[in-house]
Amino acid sequence: MTVLVLGDQLVRRAGPLADDPERVLMVESREFAARKPYHAKKLVLVFSAMRHLRDALRDDGVTVRYEQADSFAEGFTAFFDDHPEETLTCMRPAGRNAAAALRETIADAGGDVEFVGNETFLSTPAAFDEWFDEIPKQEAFYRRMRERTGVLMDGGEPVGGEWNYDSENRDTPPDDYDYPEPVRFEPDALTRDVMDDVEATHETWGSVEGFDWPVTRGGALDALDDFVENRLADFGPYQDAIVEGEWAVNHALLAPAINLGLLGPMEAVEAAEAAYEERDDVPLNSVEGFVRQLLGWREFVRHVYRREPRLADENRLGATRDLPDVYWSGETDMACLGDAVEGVRERGYAHHIERLMVLSNFALTYGVDPGALNDWFHAGFVDAYHWVTTPNVVAMGVYGSDALATKPYAASANYVDRMSDHCAGCAFDPHATTGEGACPFNGLYWDFLAEHEDALRSNHRMGLVYAHLDDKRETGDLEAIRDRADVVRERVGDDAPW
């Protein structure tokens, strides 16, 4: 048997690699990497992790054919020239149409492929489709997953009596909070070679310099230990906080390793649950909050993506504006937006609330085409793959579809001011809505509500904000607010004051 190992299926402890295959095929395609202006660190991460797995398999006596080719077609042709009519075994890829495209490329090269279940997830498509006729609320799916796996369960009841402790997870750290420094991974000789390759052969965004994500199974386990030991305890309460100069806060930083297959999502869930059971300093709200991200959200978005074949093209609000250049340049005097973009450019990472309430919120209220924002996230983040970025960006981030959220995550400066410390040092005033120096988020927010009134006013969760919009209309303020939004759209990358 020859196992085809795709770049985001680097799993040895489950799936076809666990069955001691005779031979393994891996293809590193230059054409694939050139399809988007990917972040340099994302290419380094994927290629280095692939090459490390190749070497680990070889060390264990497995024959690995590793093709560095211009395209997948070229790599498969080289392999099937030597092994005509071989049938490859491969985990079914999560990306839309990826299995069909692979099958066709492999057939053209003279071979065949058999797809088996994808063991990088905790729930199967068959189970989800049997449980739910329609896409349920995430919370319903999550509870089903808790019941099925027994995680944080006490018999048939949730540990602690509640399923969800989110209401305890909205604090910001005190001024003297000692932020735990996350463990980072110095590139070894192999990774440095990949960094040189990427620099020499690919047009990328961001730089290979400073690459320090884990690229091996051992590194992924060390990253998990570091999170559980040092950041899990405060993960919950500070999960929504944005702090200048603290890019990680208490986040896990595990998505890059989990999405590559280096770490199993259940391993992370079980490590968190064990910490809750064994340690006095790890509260339930932190552990449940973390478990929900993996057992609930990660699995759920994968099924939403699978069940909504047109999600990538959906655009229920009809937003058509181009992505402003600030998403690439980072040049803006808006402290929160500039900091988030700079963070992505530096490391290919921003934490969830920066992704949702800064990067997406700005694009949502600015009116960016969801597909354009999706492309940017997909290219720029080290943990981005189509199956996970599309639902999070298109559905959750900019409400291009209502598959994940019952209302748009649109917010004014008030939210950013409450959950971050950016506004204090920003060139813009979070309390002003119009006039020079007013925070751009304010004008955009009210303009967004006015622009989409027909689509959103009837949403019962938005009644209150539309009552406020009516007030602004009655007092005659709305016109000036909408003018301010136009200025913001024209000048977002300019130096303040404006």
Q: Which of 42, 355, 452, 472 binds ligand FAD (CB under 6 A)?
A: 355
Between 74 and 273, CB nearer to ligand FAD? 273
Between 351 and 484, CB nearer to ligand FAD? 351
**Size of the residue set binding ligand FAD (CB under 6 A):** 28
Stretch of 25-33, 117-125, 335-343, 385-393 lying at the interface with ligand FAD (CB under 6 A):
385-393
As measured in angstroms, the least distance from the Cβ of 460 to ligand FAD is 24
Between 25 and 368, CB nearer to ligand FAD? 368
DSSP 279: -
Stretch of 46-54, 58-66, 379-387, 474-482 lying at the interface with ligand FAD (CB under 6 A):
379-387
Residues paired with residue 87 on neighbouring β-strands, in sequence order: 112
Nearest to 266 by CA among 242, 303, 285, 291: 291
C-alpha distances out from residue 232 to 222, 235, 265, 277, Å:
14, 5, 15, 13
Q: Which of 360, 361, 365, 420 binds ligand FAD (CB under 6 A)?
A: 360
If binding is defined by CB under 6 A, does position 258 make contact with ligand FAD? yes
**Residue 385: both structure tokens together:** 């793959």
- The torsion defined by the Cα of 124, 111, 28 and 392, in degrees rounded to 10, comes to -30
Burial grade of 1 (CB within 10 A; 0-12, 13-18, 19 or more):
middle
Q: Is 440 helix (H, G, I), strand (E, B) or coil?
A: helix
As measured in angstroms, the least distance from the Cβ of 201 to ligand FAD is 24
Neighbours of 489 (CB within 10 A): 16
If binding is defined by CB under 6 A, does position 388 make contact with ligand FAD? yes
Stretch of 19-27, 126-134, 392-400, 460-468 lying at the interface with ligand FAD (CB under 6 A):
392-400
Between 71 and 149, CB nearer to ligand FAD? 149
Q: Is 321 helix (H, G, I), strand (E, B) or coil?
A: strand
Q: Are the C-beta atoms of 289 and 166 separated by less than 8 Å?
A: yes
Q: How far apart are CA 31 and CA 340, in angstroms?
A: 29
Between 4 and 358, CB nearer to ligand FAD? 358
C-alpha distances out from residue 28 to 7, 25, 75, 141, Å:
8, 10, 8, 36
As measured in angstroms, the least distance from the Cβ of 264 to ligand FAD is 11
Contacts of 254 by beta carbon, 8 Å cutoff, 6+ apart: 220, 223, 224, 227, 263, 268
As measured in angstroms, the least distance from the Cβ of 471 to ligand FAD is 30
If binding is defined by CB under 6 A, does position 383 make contact with ligand FAD? yes
**Per-residue binder mask for ligand FAD (CB under 6 A), 293-332, x = binder:** xx--xx--x-------------------------------
Between 294 and 335, CB nearer to ligand FAD? 294
If binding is defined by CB under 6 A, does position 377 make contact with ligand FAD? yes
Q: Which of residues 197-256 bind ligand FAD (CB under 6 A)?
A: 251-255
If binding is defined by CB under 6 A, does position 381 make contact with ligand FAD? yes
As measured in angstroms, the least distance from the Cβ of 396 to ligand FAD is 5
Tally of CA atoms within 13 A in the half-sphere of 246 that contains its CB = 22
Stretch of 25-33, 129-137, 188-196, 388-396 lying at the interface with ligand FAD (CB under 6 A):
388-396
Q: Is 112 helix (H, G, I), strand (E, B) or coil?
A: strand
Q: How far is CA 46 from the centre of its chain?
A: 15
Q: Are the C-beta atoms of 312 and 386 separated by less than 8 Å?
A: yes
Q: Which of 92, 202, 316, 352 binds ligand FAD (CB under 6 A)?
A: 352
Q: What are phi and psi of 237, to 5 degrees?
A: -60, -35
Between 407 and 431, CB nearer to ligand FAD? 407
The residues that touch ligand FAD, with contacts defined as CB under 6 A, are: 251-255, 258-259, 290, 293-294, 297-298, 301, 351-352, 355-356, 360, 377, 381, 383-384, 388-389, 392-393, 396-397
